[in-house]
Homo-oligomer: A and B are copies of this chain.
Amino acid sequence: MSRSEGRRRRGGGRAGATARRGGAVIEQMPWQIPVNIDRPTEPLGPEGIQAIHEGAMRILEEIGVVFLNPEALAIFKQAGCRVEGDLVRMDRDFVMEMIGKAPSTFTITPRNPERALPIGGNHMLFGNVSSPPNYWDLELGKKVSGTREQCQDLLKLTQYFNCIHFAGGYPVEPVDLHASVRHLDVLYDKLTITDKVMHAYSLGAERVEDVMEMVKIAGGLSEKEFQAKPRMYTNINSTSPLKHDYPMIDGCLRLARRGQAIVVTPFTLAGAMAPVTMAGAVAQSIAESLCAIALFQYVAPGTPCVIGTFTSNVDMKSGAPAFGTPEYMRSTQMTGQMARFYGLPMRSSGVCTANVPDGQAMWETSNSLWASVQSGTNMVYHAAGWLEGGLIASPEKFIMDCEVLQHIQRYMQPATFATTTDDIAFGAIKEVGNEGHFFGIQHTQDRYTEAFYQPFLSDWRNYEAWEEAGAEWTAQRAHRVFKDITASFQEPAMDDTLRGELQEFVARRKEEGGAPTDF
């Protein structure tokens, strides 16, 4: 064990203590890696899977995908693909051979190794909302541009909640920070406020390299240690239809070559950037992600890759995107079937179209989260805090979503459907017989503290008690919880030397001018 790994281990121990102290604000479920044992919901039969696969392969073979990245074009040419200008066509044999090199499971290890995440298989992990340019909370009562302080608050929630496993993109875009240095300040905040798995935006070489360097520093890792296993990941979107932009591919190539993980998530909005039919939109999405994953596997065989879905539909009255719809659910389930067909871990999202954290927000978000469960998703992006189709981040919504995530994570625990002799409880039923109740008996006494899910936000009091206590609707209660958590938040432990190195790095890179802003 290297000296740096030892430092991290101690840090992790203190972080654990902090998390326990943090438990004073609310009683939450412990940190765990949820295992989804439900058989996925599979709308497609074998012919349906074959039809989508055939469609995706024909798209790659006959239509082709534009790569606005010269390096990628050169690599595809070298690999024997047909490259004309920036259009790449590739045979299914090549695609399938490359996809076969991608691992079906892998682990991402952040600076606190206790937060390591197994990606793939039956594991189901949840991340915070990422990238909204705007912020809304109940106190403001209006939509405003994101700031660093709001971003920090949302990062505190990301760290605080055990049901949130990874820190995705910026939980709100802090537009008060200049774009050239924004990534330095936010990554510093992310790496000090949280100790969870980290993400880098693929928005230019400097940003990607800076983030990798900061993850290395925060982890106290040598370059060799950094490259030895995935320590972080990036998530890219294609520019649908059938196009990959320069910076996205560039960032991924940089990560792939250093052994880091890549999530490829086309944004195929049926009726706009993709066919109006859900199966067509899924086929196009699959084609867009597979060709990129094939590229990364050719460059660095075994690169950990995740196939993402962000297929939804537009509102045909307005052309605006809609989320958490029936079509969204089915496309997520279909993509899950395709991900298993290709042997790749899968990413989907917790999303809604609603503008405020109200009833609509929660049925749309519930729809999308249950679709994640039903599809066998491994990474759930935007699982907490998302509003207005991703244009708004909201702390109240974050808190409310965490309650739903806890419901889902409790739902997955085998205790909820165990059928041992103790669970069937014939003796207890006989003891109570045809009169009385089960409150007082030993069978209940032995089990009641752990028997059922205990919410932290749901109000289970009757109307009169709820009214007496202030008659607060869910969003109001969530606001209070948000204020309490951020007010008493304690950062996870970090070695002072590493913190100093991080600060020096940020200062030096700022002096150098940060990153270009012409992306």
B55 near A392 with CB under 8 A, answer: no
Which residues in B have their C-beta under 8 angstroms from that of A276?
425, 428, 438, 443-444, 447-448, 451
Which residues in B have their C-beta under 8 angstroms from that of A327?
416, 451-453
B87 near A434 with CB under 8 A, answer: yes
Answer yes or no: A358 CB below 8 A from chain B CBs.
Answer: yes
Decide: A270 near B459, CB < 8 A? Known: A279-B423, A424-B51, A426-B55. no
B447 near A319 with CB under 8 A, answer: no
Report the nearest B residue to A87, measured CB to CB. B434
Answer yes or no: A341 CB below 8 A from chain B CBs.
Answer: no
Which residues in B have their C-beta under 8 angstroms from that of A43?
37-38, 416-417
**Bound-complex Cα distance A361 to B404 (A):** 12
**Bound-complex Cα distance A466 to B438 (A):** 50
Q: How far is the CB of A161 from chain B (nearest CB, A)?
A: 16
Which residues in B have their C-beta under 8 angstroms from that of A25?
none
How many copies of this chain does the complex contain?
2
A275 near B452 with CB under 8 A, answer: no
Report the nearest B residue to A284, measured CB to CB. B429
Which residues in B have their C-beta under 8 angstroms from that of A134?
463
Report the nearest B residue to A334, measured CB to CB. B417
> At the interface with chain B, which of A253-261, A348-356, A481-489?
A348-356
**Bound-complex Cα distance A461 to B432 (A):** 56
What are 16 A-B contacts with C-beta separation under 8 Å?
Answer: A51-B421, A51-B424, A58-B426, A143-B467, A276-B447, A277-B423, A277-B447, A279-B419, A280-B425, A283-B425, A316-B454, A326-B411, A358-B475, A362-B362, A363-B400, A367-B407
A404 near B363 with CB under 8 A, answer: yes
Answer yes or no: A418 CB below 8 A from chain B CBs.
Answer: yes
> At the interface with chain B, which of A62-70, A168-176, A219-227?
A62-70
Query: Taking each of A44, A87, A365, A451, which has the highest tally of chain B beta carbons within 10 Å of its own beta carbon?
Result: A451
Report the nearest B residue to A134, measured CB to CB. B463
B275 near A429 with CB under 8 A, answer: yes
Partner of A438, one of B136, B274, B478: B274
Q: How far is the CB of A78 from chain B (nearest CB, A)?
A: 22
**Bound-complex Cα distance A358 to B356 (A):** 11
Which residues in B have their C-beta under 8 angstroms from that of A478?
359
Decide: A423 near B280, CB < 8 A? Known: A270-B451, A363-B407, A417-B333. yes
Which residues in B have their C-beta under 8 angstroms from that of A317?
454
B358 near A473 with CB under 8 A, answer: yes
Answer yes or no: A329 CB below 8 A from chain B CBs.
Answer: yes
Which residues in B have their C-beta under 8 angstroms from that of A423?
51, 277-280
B55 near A458 with CB under 8 A, answer: no
Report the nearest B residue to A353, measured CB to CB. B460
Report the nearest B residue to A365, measured CB to CB. B363
Report the nearest B residue to A314, measured CB to CB. B452
B52 near A355 with CB under 8 A, answer: no
**Bound-complex Cα distance A39 to B374 (A):** 11
